[in-house]
Structure 1
Amino acid sequence: MTETTTTSSPPIVIDGKGVAATIQEELQQEVERLQKEHSLLPGLAVVLVGQRVDSATYVRMKKKTAAAIGIHSVDVDLPETVSQLDLLAHVEQLNNDPSVHGILVQLPLPPHIDEAAVLKAIAVEKDADGFSALNIGNLCLRGGDPPLAVPCTPAGCIELLQRYDVQISGKDCVVLGRSNIVGMPVAALLQSCNGTVTVCHSRTRNIAEKVKQADIVVAAIGKTEFVRGDWLKPGAVVIDVGINSKPDATKKRGYRLVGDVHYDECAKVASAITPVPGGVGPMTIVMLMKNTINLARNSIGLPRMPLRNSMHRNLSHRDFVSTLNPPSATTTTTTTTTDK
């Protein structure tokens, strides 16, 4: 391993928790405005099948955030043994419920359920995750209609970059991971912000050399501390989407959470970096709420709140959210998803 070249000053630690709290306040104000001006209360339905602890915990976090913003929640809790036919019937019932503007089926589903069939059954107008073929297609097309919803974790990554005033246009961006959940849509979003994007994955050769060229690195490959400090160009911005358990005898639970980036090494080289936990993770849920509000706005013919601000704008049909001044650079913690 070659010697790591360090930057002259400590990196900005991108505070995803703080940004998420700011967005939550903005969304709360938007819900109040929609109720006052349009008598519209956004509604989110979450379908939970079985008793997986991680899924149940995530659903509780979503409900808590929805309540804080003022979004109406509908809970559909089904047993592990539910048939696919019954599950699809519940989804169809939610499709026809005018008080529900966004539907989320918590994954993973039990092995006897065809996840793809269930997700396809969600009406595109209520696709809170932004994963429908139509939403993804519109996200990727230049000059077409904007998507009704944008995948939550990728949208959160872009929000973090913009709210910290990171220039994307004209920059070399490397995305590690090509999943439908993170890698593919975040690459499309970076391109729509006029970044030049290289997508690396498990079959890519000479990954370290490709990462070395990047001004912005988005790591979502699902490998513990995969990206090393000597892979980075000095001054690169690092967005770590990974969340992995690493044995740690000093912790009560016997492990600690780390990302796909070796934080200690990369923090010596990067100009800005997300921690794990406390970086991307808090953004995912708040962007789900933003999707729900946008779907509610769409239901009465209002345009969606954008994701991208005027600094990054080029494709006028996809203006994505007016940005506040970047938060102060204080240290925190990050979280999120993985991807192969």
Structure 2
Amino acid sequence: MSARILDGEVIAKSIKDEIARRTIKRVDEGHRPPGLAIILVGDDPSSHVYVRLKKKDCEVVGFHTKICLFDESASENEVVSCVHRFNLNENIDGILVQLPLPPQIDTLTVIKTINPEKDVDGIHPYNLGMLTLREPAIRSCTSKGIMSLLDQTDIPIRGLDATVVGASNHVGRPACLELLRAGCTVTSCHRFSRDTRSHVVSADIVISATGVAGLIEGNWIKPGAIVIDVGIERQIDGSLRGDVDFDSVIKVAGWLTPVPGGVGPMTRASMLENVMEAAEKVAP
């Protein structure tokens, strides 16, 4: 048995093509194109790469972007003030703060400053709270992208057993909420879980988001399971590796996402969808 690959690049391209068509339609109807503001603090190479990719995605679909760069030494007040300015800017539909932030800046304080209607990362307490109530407003990008990947399998997931490894506010917890909303029976594993493997081996759906390269091995996987690898870590040789040991898991799983090219492109495509939806609420 060899798993079928869930190619995030291909699926994301179809989403971006549709968003580009919607942008053209908006402009033809006399509306401005959607606008995204990105706030980047510090010199972290990975963060700068991610911001460049997001800016390029926006260009592809016709959005305009404003990028606010701060030195590593920036104060919390400086970043919060920048968020406030974008909150008031009527040409900006979405605000994205690139994480992680330096230690002198409290991440939650900054996130809570964002107008929930412009929180296109979907991680403001209001938006996560609405997801908890099964009435999502703006959905968290990565978990939204994961659900789009699951849709591509054409497997009805209602009633399936799902295990999410990793419980971050940005990925693991929203993913659990999305799966519950879809009717799955959900198990959340985290750093205090005593035996993560025992929860993974019986799961029909496995989502891993820990950043621990090669954590999930083939002998952890139920034959035919859907395996979504959110983790990504650069190795000493420069290669990228996910949480899932690809070579062993592909022999057992039914569906598997690659790293790179799986969840990452879908996260960015979901962010574009969120920006478009925010813009359409202002000017349908």
Secondary structure, aligned partner of 2:222:
coil
Q: How does 1:161-180 map to 2 (within 5 A)?
A: 161-180=150-169
SS at match of 1:75: strand
For residue 48 of structure 1, give the secondary structure of its aligned residue in structure 2: strand
**Which consecutive aligned stretches of 4+ in structure 1 deviate over 4 angstroms post-superposition?**
none
* Residue 230 of structure 2 corresponds to residue 270 of structure 1: no
For residue 87 of structure 1, report the CA deviation from its aligned partner.
Answer: 2.0
Following superposition, the deviation at residue 111 of structure 1 comes to: 2.2
RMSD of Structure 2 on Structure 1 (CA):
1.5
Q: Name the CA distance, whole Å, in 2 between partners of 1:289 and 1:241.
A: 19
- The letter of the residue matching 1:23 is I
Equivalent residue letter for 2:48: A
Aligned counterpart in structure 2 of residue 224 of structure 1, from 208, 213, 217: 213
Distance, in Å, in 2 between the alignment partners of 1:60 and 1:189 is 28
Distance in 2 between residues matched to 1:38 and 1:169, nearest whole Å = 42
Tell me which residue corresponds to 2:104. Answer: 112
Deviation at 1:283, TM superposition (A): 1.1
Q: Secondary structure at the match of 2:243?
A: coil
Distance 1:59 1:194, change over 3 A: same
- SS for the counterpart of 1:26 is helix
Give me the TM-score of the superposition, normalised by structure 1. 0.80
Indicate the SS of the match to 2:170: coil
Q: Which has the higher helix share?
A: 2
1:190 to 2:179 alignment = yes
Q: Matches of 1:86 and 1:204 in 2, distance apart?
A: 39
Mapping 1:51-200, distance limit 5 Å? 51-142=43-134, 145-147=135-137, 149-200=138-189
Matching residue's letter, 2:187: T
**1:297 partner letter:** E
The whole-number CA distance in structure 1 between the counterparts of 2:132 and 2:164 is: 16
Q: Which has the larger radius of gyration?
A: 1
Deviations 1:197-248 (A, max 9, x none): 111112222322211111111111222111111111111110011112334x
Deviations 1:32-70 (A, max 9, x none): 222233614211000112222221111111110000000
Amino acid at match of 2:185: T
1:292 to 256, 275, 282: 275
State the distance in 2 between where 1:34 and 1:169 align.
Answer: 36
TM-score, normalised relative to structure 2: 0.95
The more displaced of 213-222 and 35-44 is 35-44
CA distance in structure 2 between the aligned counterparts of 1:257 and 1:271, rounded to whole angstroms: 23
Q: Does residue 1:279 correspond to 2:279, yes or no?
A: no
Counterpart amino acid of residue 114 in structure 1: D
Deviation at 1:127, TM superposition (A): 0.6
Q: Which amino acid aligns with 2:280?
A: R
Distance 1:206 1:107, change over 3 A: closer
Counterpart of 2:17 in structure 1 is 25
- Structure 2, unpaired ranges of 5+: none
> Partner of 2:227 in structure 1?
238
Looking at structure 1, the residues matched to 248 and 205 of structure 2 have their Cα atoms a distance apart, in angstroms, of 16
